[in-house]
A = this chain, B = another copy of it.
């Protein structure tokens, strides 16, 4: 059956592994031509890498074998039920010398990690496995090891048998059941009956051991999550798990909150009931005191786009895949981004020729965005890439981007920033983009939500009614019209909608045949290209030279949903390099289409191999001889990123230049424009009304 690619969030990486990675910051190498020095630099780096590899045993080379993390799943069709498909994709690029003896001494290396590791390419490996070819034999043994590692059993060469495989099916199936459950829950979210952004099951352990850890806090002190009673936010979901239901972890969170099997009421045996909190579509606020669990809940939602392994504590918390965290990111690189929905009406500056210049915020570029501009760009990028939900935490947002209240409006009339507060409703109504916003300080937000979750001592409550009452009670000098704030609920107009962009010719040519390097302990990546004598855009050379050192680097340190650490960051770099290469041969496609093609390619039978074939440096590394020893250590060295993270990497790459894809002037667009003009007219009427009222007030 076809490979369905999913990802589990990896639990803690082992210390040893991290150590090795740290000592080997220079991983592989993408970038602009025409830079002799840069090439020299890349060569020197590579030379260093080669030197150290020959001399030191600590050094770890990434192997040419790529194990792609595609999860295990169990087909659900009637005749196939119970057949386990383990999706393990091994890209084996060694010539011929395969060897079964790989990595015996490494089996205790990283249980946690292997626990999250999954399984195989186009190979349906049922429990009663039969006719293995040579490759299948290899994979079977590999799988055997993998399974035994799950238990940390001692294994000998003799025990690597069918027997062993059978013994280890239970935990494997537990893993499978957990993943399948999450996929089904996620499918339920999208169903028209739920129409939700996220689901947090009762009994989940949301807090992590520490801010940097993916492991759950122990319980106690952690409190199992429990959705509030008597509210629409709580729901009981029914999931048909088939025989897999027997493999779900019964010890889940003290089992006090465990789902009941649906046998008693005449449902089929495999039915599961799970109660939990539903985060509906629309604008949802998470409010509450500091340290009462607001941000933890939002992070759980953010992590819900990935599947979690058993024991994570959040393995029954799911979110629609295209929910994207949006935060302030001052210093971010921005190129040709239409931020006019949020930033407009900039003051003019006298030009050198005596005329005045006004910065056009429909094509905004900067090398160092401010807090508010960066967050505006992040929202717009998210809209452009087609996300259906934004996750926003006031704690890491620019205050002046989030809201502006009546008093500030009274003092400062000439304002350039339209805060997000005024836009969230329009975004949902016009674009269908939901927002989940953690708010702690600014009460104006209470005017806009469709749902309010109040966190009190780590427990959620439905506070919509109270919030609405407070919103009504305090008029606050806001402009109100027919009981709803006019200014707060601006319609989303077409001019603010970002056009599709694509990397321009100079970018594509500049970064061809690149190498990907992970910098800074896994916070940034750099793309470094060959030194090509390419004269056709010498004009730009000066501007590029200006701050050459940063050219091609990508700061992803504040892309919070990149939960797979440096492995996923590296995967991001690889995918981006692939994307740029693909863009070269497909100049008509915008980023969104390019990303769709990328996902298609990755979901295809060749998967990561296609991406990697663009990097001869990876495929032909000199540690071919040690492949058996390094295979284990290198499992999952590149995790597949979501397309959103790849888009983030592209738009943050210093030196990248994006151009608009010519717009198609179709019927629908014209109709939309007409509707908008109508909306504009109505808005203007309201504003006039407001102005008249104010004038009236002032006269008093």
Contacts and interface: CB of A to CB of B under 8 A. Distances in A.
Interface of A: 15, 18-19, 22-23, 37, 40-41, 44, 48, 51-52, 56, 58, 210-212, 218, 220-223, 287-292, 295, 328, 330-331, 343, 345-352, 357, 359, 366-372, 393-412, 414-417, 419, 439-444, 446, 454, 456-458, 463, 466-467, 470-471, 473-474, 476-477, 519-521, 523-524, 545, 547-550, 553
Contacts of A220: 349-352
Contact of A441 (B37, B328, B405): B405
29 contacts: A19-B548, A23-B44, A44-B52, A48-B51, A210-B366, A212-B368, A220-B349, A223-B350, A287-B411, A289-B412, A289-B416, A295-B370, A370-B395, A371-B393, A372-B395, A394-B400, A399-B403, A400-B439, A403-B442, A404-B441, A404-B442, A410-B443, A410-B473, A411-B446, A411-B454, A411-B467, A411-B470, A414-B456, A474-B476
A398 B400 contact: no
A290 B415 contact: yes
Q: How many copies does the complex hold?
A: 2
Nearest to A352: B220
Given A222-B349, A290-B343, A405-B405, 19 more contacts: A15-B548, A18-B548, A22-B549, A23-B41, A221-B352, A290-B400, A291-B347, A372-B395, A398-B399, A400-B440, A402-B441, A404-B442, A405-B441, A405-B442, A406-B474, A408-B440, A408-B442, A414-B457, A521-B549
A407 B470 contact: yes
Contacts of A523: 520
B368 A408 contact: no
Contact of A396 (B352, B367, B371, B454): B371
A594 B427 CA distance: 54
A442 B44 CA distance: 52
A56 B48 CA distance: 12
Contacts of A350: 220-221, 223
A40 B290 CA distance: 43
A519 B524 CA distance: 12
Contacts of A524: 520
A279 to B, nearest CB: 19
Contacts of A369: 211
Contacts of A18: 548-549
A549 B211 contact: no
A419 B440 CA distance: 10
A328 B396 contact: yes
Contact of A52 (B48, B295, B457, B519): B48
Nearest to A459: B347
A556 to B, nearest CB: 13
Contact of A520 (B212, B396, B520): B520
Contact of A440 (B394, B417, B443, B549): B417
Given A415-B290, A442-B441, A476-B407, A37 B19 contact: yes
Contacts of A343: 290-291
Contact of A221 (B330, B349, B414): B349
Contacts of A41: 19, 22-23, 58
- 5 closest A-B pairs by beta carbon, nearest first, are A407-B443, A211-B368, A400-B440, A290-B417, A371-B395
Contacts of A519: 520-521
Contacts of A404: 440-442
A112 to B, nearest CB: 13
Contacts of A550: 521
Contact of A395 (B345, B398, B444): B398
Contacts of A458: 347, 349
B399 A397 contact: yes
Given A290-B400, A352-B220, A417-B290, A411 B51 contact: no
Contacts of A440: 372, 399-400, 404, 408, 412, 417
A40 B52 contact: no
Contacts of A22: 41, 549
Contact of A357 (B44, B221, B401, B470): B221
Contact of A290 (B19, B37, B416): B416
A17 to B, nearest CB: 10
A408 B444 CA distance: 8
A48 to B, nearest CB: 5
Looking at A292, A403, A441, the one whose CB has the most chain B CB atoms below 10 A away is: A441
Nearest to A457: B347
Nearest to A366: B211
Contacts of A408: 287, 439-443, 446
Nearest to A519: B520
A56 to B, nearest CB: 6
Contacts of A291: 343, 346-347, 359, 416
A23 B371 CA distance: 30
A471 B407 contact: yes
A13 to B, nearest CB: 10
Contacts of A288: 412, 414
A428 to B, nearest CB: 21
Contacts of A439: 400, 408
A70 to B, nearest CB: 28
Nearest to A219: B350
Nearest to A419: B441
Contacts of A407: 443-444, 446, 470-471, 474, 476
A596 B410 CA distance: 46
A523 B558 CA distance: 15
A623 to B, nearest CB: 17
Given A52-B48, A343-B291, A402 B399 contact: yes
A396 B395 contact: no
A466 B410 CA distance: 9
A395 B406 contact: no
Contacts of A359: 291
Contacts of A553: 521
Nearest to A370: B395
Contact of A212 (B295, B417, B443, B547): B547
A351 to B, nearest CB: 6
